[in-house]
Amino acid sequence: MIPVPQTLRRYPWGLIATLLFIAGFGMLVLYSAAGGSFTPWALTHGMRFAIFLTMALIIGFFIPLELMARLSFLAYAGIAVLLFGVELAGAVRGGSQRWLDIGFMNLQPSELMKVAIVLALARFYSMLPPAETPRVRALGPALVLIGIPAALVMLQPDLGTALSIIASGVVVMFLAGLPLWWFIGAGVAGIAALPVLFSFLHDYQQKRVLIFLNPEEDPLGAGYHITQSKIAIGSGGLDGKGFLNGSQSHLDYLPEGHTDFIFATMAEEWGLIGGLVLGFAYFLLLRWTTRVALDASTRFGQLTAAGLTMTIFFYIAINLMMVMGLAPVVGIPLPLFSHGGSSMLTIMLCVGIILAVQRDKSGTRRPFG
């Protein structure tokens, strides 16, 4: 980690440098993916990053955590309504609709829900008296809070985002201290129910999962993404083919080379070294968020920071697993790296809120923190 001197603690320079590095590296890769051009991706990527970084700093420095805690249920409810809205709009227009056009970008309410679910659950568990923790009262409302948005997002259908909402929610529940055997039991039941859950998936989602399990079976069809992505990463070798020299991305063999598969675009030109450097930057980011969670002075802060850490981690892990052929193609971008406004907004919201947690000194520090 870039050391943050105690005197400058008020200004999170290390964090800003890490974020700048990731987004700047992303711009370079997007510049290359466009065939050596700032348009159409690199420039908007940089501009959005500037806007969202400002937003994150404003949130972190000017909005008290207490206010966020109080508004968390309201925000959750509002975003749930927006989710209904896109669902309805999709039904009216025919076909699936995931976003609302808000001018400079298309907003996906499901992205915001990833943040809202963590805040709402953190709020719920911070309000819950400690003695209630192992009781059913601690479980029921949380399941409802997770279930509604997860179901709505699944209907869109967006398996990746639904899983992200569930994962973040479950991690908050876990960290809130719910009995361990509940999670073990649910995990075993979940594995047992996998075939049933699988049957609930759409045909194309089922196909993606099957192709993930055996990509060579359909190298030109849906397995094409995974195969081409692995070729891009594998052919990059240790130090890559060089900036602007990636044939897989420049000759269009790699699909979605500027969004979901941007890591493959990067790895082809920068090689394993580029991948490890980027991974280290993410490690620094997550180490910071985890430390904030451990150091948080309130229970809401603890759970929020830890839950949002999981949200960010889920993006990174699933995206990297997907591009390396370890997970089905679910359409999750790489945070701050992929070209796309919604995911960047979500990540920078997370960063802003965690920054607010870090600055919040309202609670009493506990000996175990």
Partner 1 sequence: MFGKFWKSPPVTEAWRGFTFTRRTMLVGGVQMAIGGALAARMAYISIIDNERYVLESESNRLNLTLIPPRRGWIVDKRGKALANNRVSLRIDLIPDRVQNKAKIVADLQQLLGLDADTVQRVRRDLDKAAGFQPVPVAENLDEARFASILVRITDLPGVAPARGFARNYPAGAAVGHLLGYVGAPTAEEYQKARDPLYVTPGFKTGKDGLERYFEPYLRGKPGAKRVEVTAGGKVVRELDTQPDTQGETLHLAIDGDLQDYAARRMGRESGAAVVIDCLTGDIIAFVSMPCFDPNSFSDGIGQKEWAWLNGDTDRKPLLNKATRGLYPPGSTLKPTAALAILEAGVDPAERITCPGGYRLGNRFFRCLGRHGPVDMPTAIERSCNTYFYAMAHRLGYDRIAPVARTLGLGEDFRISGANQRFGTIPDSAWKQRKYDQAWSASDSLNAVIGQGYVIVNPLQLAVSTARIASGKALYPSLIARKPELVKTLPYSAEHLAIVRSGMDRVVNGNGTAVRSRLDLDGIKLAGKTGTAQVRGLASGSRGQSGAYRFRDHGLFVCYAPTDNPRYAAAVIIEHGMGGSRAAAPVAKDIFTYLYDRDKAMATLTTLEEGWGGDIPTRMARDFAGFQGLSIDTSEVEVP
Q: What does the binding site for partner 1 look like in residue numbers (CB under 8 A)?
A: 130-131, 133-134, 171, 174-177, 179-181, 184, 228, 230-238, 247-248, 251-253, 267-268, 271-272, 275-276, 279, 282-283, 286, 290, 293-294, 299, 302-303, 306, 309-310, 313, 317, 320-321, 324, 326, 366-369
**Nearer Cβ to partner 1 (47/221):** 221
Q: 208 and 222 in contact (C-beta within 8 Å)?
A: yes
**Nearer Cβ to partner 1 (75/317):** 317
Minimum separation from the CB atom of position 128 to partner 1 (A) = 10
Q: CA–CA separation, 159 vs 237, rounded Å? A: 32
Minimum separation from the CB atom of position 49 to partner 1 (A) = 23
Minimum separation from the CB atom of position 283 to partner 1 (A) = 6
According to DSSP, residue 38 is labeled S
Minimum separation from the CB atom of position 289 to partner 1 (A) = 10
Minimum separation from the CB atom of position 275 to partner 1 (A) = 5
**Nearer Cβ to partner 1 (196/238):** 238
Q: CA–CA separation, 41 vs 22, rounded Å? A: 15
**In angstroms, what CA-CA distances link 20 with 26, 52, 61, 94?**
10, 12, 18, 40
Minimum separation from the CB atom of position 284 to partner 1 (A) = 12
Q: CA–CA separation, 271 vs 182, rounded Å? A: 43
**Nearer Cβ to partner 1 (214/368):** 368
Q: CA–CA separation, 338 vs 29, rounded Å? A: 9
Amino acid type, 161: T
* Residue at token pair 């194309």: 204
**Nearer Cβ to partner 1 (1/8):** 1
Radius of gyration (C-alpha) of the chain in whole angstroms? 21
Minimum separation from the CB atom of position 266 to partner 1 (A) = 11
Q: What are the residues facing 106 on neighbouring strands?
A: 101
**Nearer Cβ to partner 1 (53/296):** 296
Residues 6+ apart with CB under 8 A from 127: none
**Nearer Cβ to partner 1 (207/230):** 230
* Residue at token pair 């697993």: 321
H/E element holding 101? Answer: strand 100-101
Helix pair 65-93, 299-323: axis angle to 10 deg: 40
Residues 6+ apart with CB under 8 A from 145: 76, 117, 120, 121, 124, 169
Minimum separation from the CB atom of position 202 to partner 1 (A) = 26
**Nearer Cβ to partner 1 (79/323):** 323
